[in-house]
Structure 1
Amino acid sequence: MSQPTAVPAARWWQSLILAIQFLTRLPTPQLRTFHPEWLAASACWFAPVGLLLGSLLWLGVWLGSLHDPWLGALAGLLLWIGITGGLHLDGLADLSDAMGAAHRSRERFFEVLKDPHVGSFGVIALICAIVSKLVLLMLLASQPQQLPGLLLLPAWARLFALFWSATLPALAPGSGERFAWQPQWRAQAIGLLALLGLSLWLAPALLLAPLAALLWRGWLKRKLGGMTGDCLGAGIEVCEILLLGVLLLPVHLLGA
């Protein structure tokens, strides 16, 4: 068997640009070369890019809420979708269609998962996700003291994606499999400690965030036995919705 061709390691700035390009639609310098292995290396920047997304999300909601909470929620939602390009919503729609149409057939599941068209299950999932985010953002915009949590929420969800890809077997070729090539345990540990510290400072309710990652991992393990890129994207969407609800816990339980 021939040995694979050696691939030069990506420099830190190349990895950062790739992470921004993969997770967002923000303008970046174009790279002259690209190797698939670099995508796995770029995962170490997922949490920092999530902080960038969170900063823009917080800014949009805060500015809009100066006029009306619903306006803040709408501004935040449109920014959220626009900056990410609906990348993870696409994964949620694909996974929902595959789960709805599989009828316990593993072959049918992967067949539908690869289909680029969106079916009725995917449409329903998209509507539920978008409406859930809009309403939860409005409730947060009505409680300005809880808004700082939005800075951290996207970072938590993207750190979770690294955890899922590193601890679950890949079910199909794709981005999920590529991230598993280099688990990035050091980046995960640093990201976890940093986000726990920032959560303690800005939004203590988000100290519960890792539970959302464990819940989604448990669901994937029980239902599918592993993960794909669409599973990672869907998990990011589901966990972002869960964490929006977590941010509201102090308001409803403690009257904060």
Structure 2
Amino acid sequence: MRAAFNKHVDAFLIAVQFFTTIPVRFKTYPATATQSIAPLYYPLVGVMIGMLLFAAASYLHTHTLLTSAIVVTLWAVITGGLHLDGVADSADGWMAGIGQREKTLAVMKDPLVGASGVLTLVLVLLLKFAAVVHLLEAGALFVLLLAPLVARTATLLLLATTPYVSPTGIASHTANQLPTRVATAVCGLILVMLISISPSVAILIGLSFWWLRRAMLRRLGGMTGDTAGALIEIIEVLFLVYFSVI
């Protein structure tokens, strides 16, 4: 019992270490079996991030524009810009790859950021900032709690349902050994929660996930770490925008 508990604690800490800049150290890095269940805790890490954003938005008593800028900045700092990097790399790959799988993957691996990547980053941050401004003015701070949760649930579902392109990729062994039944059950529970809050937003997020996953399958035949990161940022932005306009 104690060993099983420690395994899950370590799995949660791996998820925290991967998705945030919160310092997590291991004397001995957990075994592959523990790493394989870490994605199950991605939604919980999303809740943690959302709580930090909610707290910042609630207790900052400055102009709405400044508060929004601080919240978006905190959002990037908490995650270390990891997913923003995925957005930039994916955008460069999709534009420069001109429909070719190998060229797309090669461009995505290039550490340099191209014009498409920069433009996409600007648009993502601009949309996120504008949506946060609207939500603050509308008093809908609960959306900040939900956005990171929903986005990381989408990533869990992506891992559970989509092949990993590179067998030597950073998360390939995790994706291959993920307990998919448990993962889909977790995603199902969170989907039910989202439907109870806003059926229309739940439908739009579901359609957005389907379209993004389909694009990955058609171009790459699966997912990569970059496209998973891009999925998180895009779902977060769309979630904020959907709640702002509906």
TM tier, smaller: 0.7 to 0.9
Q: Deviations over 1:17-70 (max 9, x none)?
A: 101000000123434234455433211100011000111111222233x43221
Alpha carbons 2:16, 2:24 under 8 Å: kept: yes
Cα 1:70–1:206 shift into 2, 3 Å: same
Correspondent of 1:147 among 135, 141, 151: 141
Name the residue aligned to 1:239.
Answer: 235
Deviation of 1:121 (Å)? 1.4
| Selected match of 1:22 from 18, 41, 45 | 18
State the distance in 2 between where 1:154 and 1:192 align: 17
CA positional deviation for 1:180: 1.9
CA contact (8 A) 2:36 2:175 kept: yes
State the number of aligned residues.
Answer: 240
Same amino acid, percent of matched pairs: 32
Is this contact kept in 2: 1:205–1:247, CA < 8 A? no
Query: Following the alignment from structure 1 to structure 2, what is the Cα–Cα distance between the partners of residues 41 and 175?
Result: 15
By relative contact order (CA 8 Å, sep 6+), the higher-ranking structure is: 2
Q: Secondary structure at the match of 1:125?
A: helix
Matches of residues 5-154 of structure 1 in structure 2 within 5 Å?
11-36=7-32, 38-64=34-60, 66-144=61-139, 146-154=140-148
RMSD: 2.3
Matched residue, 1:3:
none
CA–CA separation in structure 1 for the residues paired with 2:95 and 2:145: 34
Q: In structure 2, how many angstroms separate the alpha carbons of the residues matched to 1:106 and 1:207?
A: 31
TM-score by length of 2: 0.88
Gaps in structure 1 of 5+ consecutive residues: 1-7, 251-256
Rounded Cα–Cα distance in structure 2 between residues aligned with 1:183 and 1:34: 15
Match of 1:224 in 2: 220
Residue in 2 that maps onto 1:254: none
Q: Which amino acid is the alignment partner of residue 71 of structure 2? A: G
1:170 and 2:167 are equivalent in the alignment:
no
Distance 1:246 1:98 in 2: 27
Single out whichever of 88-97 and 189-198 deviates more from structure 2: 189-198
Which residue identity does 2:227 align to in structure 1? C
Q: Secondary structure at the match of 1:175?
A: coil
Please say if residues 160 and 183 of structure 2, whose CA atoms lie closer than 8 Å, have aligned partners that are also in contact.
no
Matched letter for residue 62 of structure 2: H
2:160–2:184 contact (8 Å) kept in structure 1:
no
Moved >6 Å (runs of 4+): none
